[in-house]
Amino acid sequence: MTTLHDTLLDWYDDHRRDLPWRRPEASAWGVLVSELMLQQTPVARVLPVWEAWLERWPTPARLAAESSGEAVRAWGRLGYPRRALRLHAAAVAITERHGGEVPDDHAALLALPGVGDYTAAAVASFAFGQRHVVLDTNVRRVLERALGGRAFPGTSPTRPERDRAAALLPDDPATAATWAVAVMELGALVCTARRPRCEQCPLSGTCRWRSAGFPDAEAPRRVQTYDGTDRQCRGRLLAVLRDSPGSVAADRLDTAWAEPVQRRRALDSLLADGLVVRTERGRYALP
Protein backbone atom coordinates (compact mmCIF):
# COMPACT_ATOMS: atom_id res chain seq x y z
CA MET A 1 0.00 0.00 0.00
CA THR A 2 2.78 2.43 0.92
CA THR A 3 4.56 1.71 -2.36
CA LEU A 4 1.36 2.39 -4.29
CA HIS A 5 0.86 5.69 -2.49
CA ASP A 6 4.45 6.81 -2.91
CA THR A 7 4.51 5.90 -6.60
CA LEU A 8 1.39 7.81 -7.49
CA LEU A 9 2.08 10.79 -5.24
CA ASP A 10 5.56 11.15 -6.74
CA TRP A 11 4.04 11.05 -10.21
CA TYR A 12 1.52 13.71 -9.24
CA ASP A 13 4.24 15.99 -7.92
CA ASP A 14 5.87 15.91 -11.35
CA HIS A 15 2.84 15.95 -13.65
CA ARG A 16 -0.04 17.78 -12.01
CA ARG A 17 -1.65 20.61 -13.92
CA ASP A 18 -1.42 24.12 -12.56
CA LEU A 19 -5.12 24.82 -12.14
CA PRO A 20 -6.17 27.95 -10.23
CA TRP A 21 -8.60 26.14 -7.93
CA ARG A 22 -5.76 23.86 -6.80
CA ARG A 23 -3.40 26.63 -5.82
CA PRO A 24 -2.78 27.32 -2.11
CA GLU A 25 -4.42 30.73 -2.36
CA ALA A 26 -7.65 29.30 -3.79
CA SER A 27 -10.62 29.84 -1.49
CA ALA A 28 -13.06 27.15 -0.48
CA TRP A 29 -15.66 29.07 -2.48
CA GLY A 30 -13.41 28.88 -5.53
CA VAL A 31 -13.09 25.12 -5.07
CA LEU A 32 -16.86 24.72 -4.76
CA VAL A 33 -17.45 26.80 -7.89
CA SER A 34 -14.92 24.72 -9.82
CA GLU A 35 -16.51 21.44 -8.78
CA LEU A 36 -19.97 22.53 -9.96
CA MET A 37 -18.59 23.91 -13.22
CA LEU A 38 -16.47 20.85 -13.98
CA GLN A 39 -19.41 18.47 -13.91
CA GLN A 40 -19.65 17.10 -17.47
CA THR A 41 -17.56 20.02 -18.76
CA PRO A 42 -13.87 20.01 -19.85
CA VAL A 43 -11.29 22.02 -17.93
CA ALA A 44 -10.45 24.19 -20.95
CA ARG A 45 -14.03 25.44 -21.18
CA VAL A 46 -14.34 25.98 -17.44
CA LEU A 47 -11.15 28.01 -16.89
CA PRO A 48 -12.21 31.38 -18.41
CA VAL A 49 -15.71 31.20 -16.92
CA TRP A 50 -14.36 30.27 -13.48
CA GLU A 51 -11.92 33.16 -13.54
CA ALA A 52 -14.59 35.66 -14.61
CA TRP A 53 -17.00 34.27 -12.01
CA LEU A 54 -14.51 34.59 -9.12
CA GLU A 55 -13.54 38.08 -10.23
CA ARG A 56 -17.16 39.19 -10.15
CA TRP A 57 -18.25 37.11 -7.15
CA PRO A 58 -15.21 36.37 -4.99
CA THR A 59 -17.43 35.35 -2.06
CA PRO A 60 -20.76 33.55 -1.71
CA ALA A 61 -22.33 36.67 -0.24
CA ARG A 62 -21.52 38.70 -3.34
CA LEU A 63 -23.33 36.17 -5.52
CA ALA A 64 -26.22 35.78 -3.08
CA ALA A 65 -26.84 39.53 -3.26
CA GLU A 66 -27.66 39.28 -6.96
CA SER A 67 -30.53 37.59 -8.74
CA SER A 68 -30.25 33.99 -9.84
CA GLY A 69 -30.75 35.28 -13.38
CA GLU A 70 -27.37 37.00 -13.24
CA ALA A 71 -25.80 33.65 -12.37
CA VAL A 72 -27.47 32.10 -15.42
CA ARG A 73 -26.27 35.00 -17.58
CA ALA A 74 -22.68 34.65 -16.35
CA TRP A 75 -22.82 30.88 -16.87
CA GLY A 76 -22.76 31.58 -20.59
CA ARG A 77 -22.37 28.52 -22.80
CA LEU A 78 -20.97 26.06 -20.27
CA GLY A 79 -24.07 23.91 -20.69
CA TYR A 80 -26.44 22.37 -18.16
CA PRO A 81 -27.36 25.86 -16.85
CA ARG A 82 -29.32 24.51 -13.90
CA ARG A 83 -25.90 24.25 -12.28
CA ALA A 84 -25.86 28.06 -12.21
CA LEU A 85 -29.11 28.07 -10.24
CA ARG A 86 -27.68 25.49 -7.85
CA LEU A 87 -24.56 27.57 -7.29
CA HIS A 88 -26.68 30.64 -6.60
CA ALA A 89 -28.86 28.67 -4.18
CA ALA A 90 -25.74 27.32 -2.46
CA ALA A 91 -24.38 30.86 -2.14
CA VAL A 92 -27.62 32.01 -0.53
CA ALA A 93 -27.58 29.07 1.89
CA ILE A 94 -23.91 29.65 2.79
CA THR A 95 -24.64 33.33 3.43
CA GLU A 96 -27.73 32.67 5.53
CA ARG A 97 -26.62 29.56 7.44
CA HIS A 98 -22.84 29.90 7.69
CA GLY A 99 -22.09 33.62 7.82
CA GLY A 100 -20.87 33.67 4.25
CA GLU A 101 -18.13 31.08 4.78
CA VAL A 102 -18.16 27.74 2.98
CA PRO A 103 -18.54 25.19 5.81
CA ASP A 104 -15.69 22.77 6.43
CA ASP A 105 -18.01 20.09 7.79
CA HIS A 106 -18.88 17.31 5.35
CA ALA A 107 -22.47 17.01 6.55
CA ALA A 108 -23.00 20.76 6.28
CA LEU A 109 -21.59 20.73 2.76
CA LEU A 110 -23.88 17.87 1.82
CA ALA A 111 -26.86 19.88 3.08
CA LEU A 112 -26.18 22.73 0.63
CA PRO A 113 -28.44 22.96 -2.45
CA GLY A 114 -26.96 21.23 -5.47
CA VAL A 115 -24.20 19.50 -3.49
CA GLY A 116 -24.15 15.71 -3.64
CA ASP A 117 -21.90 13.02 -2.20
CA TYR A 118 -19.06 13.57 -4.64
CA THR A 119 -19.04 17.38 -4.42
CA ALA A 120 -19.21 17.42 -0.62
CA ALA A 121 -16.28 14.99 -0.38
CA ALA A 122 -14.29 16.88 -3.02
CA VAL A 123 -14.69 20.27 -1.33
CA ALA A 124 -13.93 18.84 2.11
CA SER A 125 -10.80 17.19 0.70
CA PHE A 126 -9.48 19.79 -1.72
CA ALA A 127 -10.45 22.95 0.17
CA PHE A 128 -9.94 21.77 3.74
CA GLY A 129 -7.45 18.89 3.46
CA GLN A 130 -9.75 16.32 5.01
CA ARG A 131 -9.84 12.56 4.60
CA HIS A 132 -12.78 11.48 2.44
CA VAL A 133 -13.50 9.04 -0.37
CA VAL A 134 -13.69 11.10 -3.57
CA LEU A 135 -15.13 9.00 -6.38
CA ASP A 136 -15.54 10.66 -9.74
CA THR A 137 -15.51 8.94 -13.14
CA ASN A 138 -11.72 9.19 -13.48
CA VAL A 139 -11.02 7.80 -10.01
CA ARG A 140 -13.42 4.91 -10.49
CA ARG A 141 -11.81 3.98 -13.81
CA VAL A 142 -8.25 4.07 -12.44
CA LEU A 143 -9.09 1.91 -9.43
CA GLU A 144 -11.13 -0.55 -11.48
CA ARG A 145 -8.27 -1.05 -13.92
CA ALA A 146 -5.35 -1.04 -11.50
CA LEU A 147 -6.97 -3.14 -8.78
CA GLY A 148 -10.08 -4.73 -10.27
CA GLY A 149 -8.59 -5.85 -13.56
CA ARG A 150 -11.51 -4.53 -15.61
CA ALA A 151 -11.54 -1.79 -18.21
CA PHE A 152 -14.52 0.14 -16.85
CA PRO A 153 -16.56 0.25 -13.65
CA GLY A 154 -20.33 -0.02 -13.63
CA THR A 155 -22.74 2.83 -14.15
CA SER A 156 -22.91 3.86 -10.49
CA PRO A 157 -20.50 3.36 -7.58
CA THR A 158 -21.16 0.19 -5.60
CA ARG A 159 -20.54 -0.50 -1.93
CA PRO A 160 -17.48 -2.70 -2.72
CA GLU A 161 -16.07 0.16 -4.83
CA ARG A 162 -16.50 2.60 -1.98
CA ASP A 163 -15.00 0.17 0.52
CA ARG A 164 -11.99 -0.39 -1.73
CA ALA A 165 -11.47 3.34 -2.17
CA ALA A 166 -11.81 3.91 1.57
CA ALA A 167 -9.24 1.18 2.31
CA LEU A 168 -6.79 2.91 -0.04
CA LEU A 169 -6.97 6.29 1.70
CA PRO A 170 -3.74 7.21 3.52
CA ASP A 171 -4.24 7.72 7.24
CA ASP A 172 -2.93 11.28 7.26
CA PRO A 173 -5.77 13.62 6.18
CA ALA A 174 -3.58 15.97 4.14
CA THR A 175 -1.95 13.06 2.33
CA ALA A 176 -5.34 11.48 1.76
CA ALA A 177 -6.57 14.71 0.16
CA THR A 178 -3.54 14.78 -2.15
CA TRP A 179 -4.02 11.11 -2.95
CA ALA A 180 -7.62 11.79 -3.99
CA VAL A 181 -6.65 14.47 -6.49
CA ALA A 182 -3.63 12.46 -7.69
CA VAL A 183 -5.78 9.47 -8.67
CA MET A 184 -8.19 11.84 -10.38
CA GLU A 185 -5.36 13.47 -12.30
CA LEU A 186 -4.00 10.11 -13.45
CA GLY A 187 -7.40 9.25 -14.87
CA ALA A 188 -7.71 12.61 -16.61
CA LEU A 189 -4.24 12.63 -18.18
CA VAL A 190 -3.05 9.02 -18.56
CA CYS A 191 -5.60 6.35 -17.69
CA THR A 192 -8.19 7.84 -20.02
CA ALA A 193 -11.33 6.09 -21.19
CA ARG A 194 -10.10 5.85 -24.76
CA ARG A 195 -6.48 5.37 -25.80
CA PRO A 196 -4.96 5.16 -22.30
CA ARG A 197 -1.22 5.88 -22.27
CA CYS A 198 -0.20 2.82 -20.31
CA GLU A 199 3.47 3.26 -21.21
CA GLN A 200 3.43 6.54 -19.23
CA CYS A 201 1.48 5.19 -16.26
CA PRO A 202 3.31 4.95 -12.94
CA LEU A 203 1.09 2.01 -11.99
CA SER A 204 1.69 -0.02 -15.17
CA GLY A 205 3.95 -2.53 -13.41
CA THR A 206 1.22 -3.57 -10.97
CA CYS A 207 -1.93 -2.84 -12.99
CA ARG A 208 -4.17 -5.90 -13.03
CA TRP A 209 -5.98 -4.84 -16.19
CA ARG A 210 -2.67 -4.56 -18.05
CA SER A 211 -1.38 -7.88 -16.73
CA ALA A 212 -4.66 -9.53 -17.82
CA GLY A 213 -4.11 -8.38 -21.39
CA PHE A 214 -6.49 -5.41 -21.41
CA PRO A 215 -9.81 -7.31 -21.54
CA ASP A 216 -12.85 -5.40 -22.85
CA ALA A 217 -10.62 -2.48 -23.77
CA GLU A 218 -13.10 -0.84 -26.13
CA ALA A 219 -14.75 2.07 -24.34
CA PRO A 220 -18.55 2.00 -24.37
CA ARG A 221 -19.66 4.64 -26.84
CA ARG A 222 -22.42 6.98 -25.84
CA VAL A 223 -23.90 8.55 -28.92
CA GLN A 224 -24.91 12.07 -27.93
CA THR A 225 -26.70 14.02 -30.59
CA TYR A 226 -27.18 17.73 -30.10
CA ASP A 227 -28.25 19.33 -33.35
CA GLY A 228 -31.99 19.65 -33.53
CA THR A 229 -32.61 18.49 -29.95
CA ASP A 230 -34.69 20.17 -27.26
CA ARG A 231 -31.43 20.84 -25.46
CA GLN A 232 -30.13 22.86 -28.40
CA CYS A 233 -33.44 24.70 -28.62
CA ARG A 234 -33.28 25.55 -24.91
CA GLY A 235 -29.76 26.86 -25.41
CA ARG A 236 -30.85 29.11 -28.25
CA LEU A 237 -33.71 30.55 -26.21
CA LEU A 238 -31.46 31.14 -23.21
CA ALA A 239 -28.87 32.83 -25.42
CA VAL A 240 -31.49 35.41 -26.49
CA LEU A 241 -32.32 36.15 -22.85
CA ARG A 242 -28.67 36.26 -21.76
CA ASP A 243 -27.91 38.80 -24.46
CA SER A 244 -30.89 41.00 -23.54
CA PRO A 245 -30.60 43.42 -20.60
CA GLY A 246 -34.28 43.11 -19.72
CA SER A 247 -37.31 41.08 -20.70
CA VAL A 248 -38.11 40.11 -24.28
CA ALA A 249 -41.36 39.60 -26.13
CA ALA A 250 -42.42 36.16 -27.25
CA ASP A 251 -41.89 36.99 -30.90
CA ARG A 252 -38.24 37.73 -30.16
CA LEU A 253 -37.87 34.15 -28.96
CA ASP A 254 -39.63 32.95 -32.10
CA THR A 255 -36.64 34.09 -34.15
CA ALA A 256 -34.30 31.84 -32.14
CA TRP A 257 -35.96 28.58 -33.21
CA ALA A 258 -38.24 28.09 -36.19
CA GLU A 259 -40.17 24.95 -35.20
CA PRO A 260 -43.07 26.19 -33.00
CA VAL A 261 -44.03 22.97 -31.19
CA GLN A 262 -40.47 22.20 -30.12
CA ARG A 263 -39.87 25.84 -29.22
CA ARG A 264 -42.92 25.88 -26.98
CA ARG A 265 -41.90 22.61 -25.35
CA ALA A 266 -38.37 23.89 -24.71
CA LEU A 267 -39.67 27.18 -23.31
CA ASP A 268 -42.08 25.35 -21.01
CA SER A 269 -39.22 23.23 -19.69
CA LEU A 270 -37.09 26.33 -19.05
CA LEU A 271 -39.97 27.87 -17.12
CA ALA A 272 -40.45 24.66 -15.13
CA ASP A 273 -36.73 24.54 -14.28
CA GLY A 274 -36.76 28.14 -13.06
CA LEU A 275 -34.27 29.25 -15.70
CA VAL A 276 -36.81 31.60 -17.30
CA VAL A 277 -39.71 33.59 -15.83
CA ARG A 278 -42.79 35.05 -17.51
CA THR A 279 -43.60 38.62 -16.55
CA GLU A 280 -47.04 40.03 -15.90
CA ARG A 281 -46.94 41.66 -19.33
CA GLY A 282 -46.43 38.31 -21.02
CA ARG A 283 -42.75 38.83 -21.70
CA TYR A 284 -39.87 36.54 -20.76
CA ALA A 285 -36.71 37.13 -18.74
CA LEU A 286 -34.03 35.45 -16.71
CA PRO A 287 -35.08 34.93 -13.06
Annotated catalytic residue, options 35, 144, 161, 185: 35
Question: Residues 16, 20, 25, 31: is their CA dihedral positive or negative?
Answer: negative
Is 19 in contact with 48 (CB distance < 8 Å)? no
User: What is residue 221's predicted lDDT score, i.e. its pLDDT?
Assistant: 66
Structure confidence at residue 189 (pLDDT): 97
- The beta-carbon contacts of 279-284 under 8 Å, at least 24 apart in sequence, are 279/247, 281/247, 282/249, 282/250, 283/247, 283/248, 283/249, 283/250, 284/241, 284/247, 284/248, 284/249, 284/250, 284/253
Domains of the chain: 230-285 (1.10.10)
Mark whether 144 is an active-site residue: no
From the number of C-beta atoms within 10 Å of its C-beta (0-12, 13-18, 19+), residue 177 rates as: buried
- Please give the chain's pLDDT, 287 residues, in tens: 788 999 999 999 999 999 999 999 999 999 999 999 999 899 999 999 999 999 999 999 999 999 999 999 999 999 899 999 999 999 999 999 999 999 999 999 999 999 999 999 999 999 999 999 999 999 999 999 999 999 999 989 999 999 999 999 999 999 999 999 999 999 999 999 999 999 999 999 999 999 999 998 876 666 567 788 999 999 999 999 999 988 999 999 999 999 999 999 999 999 999 999 999 889 999 99
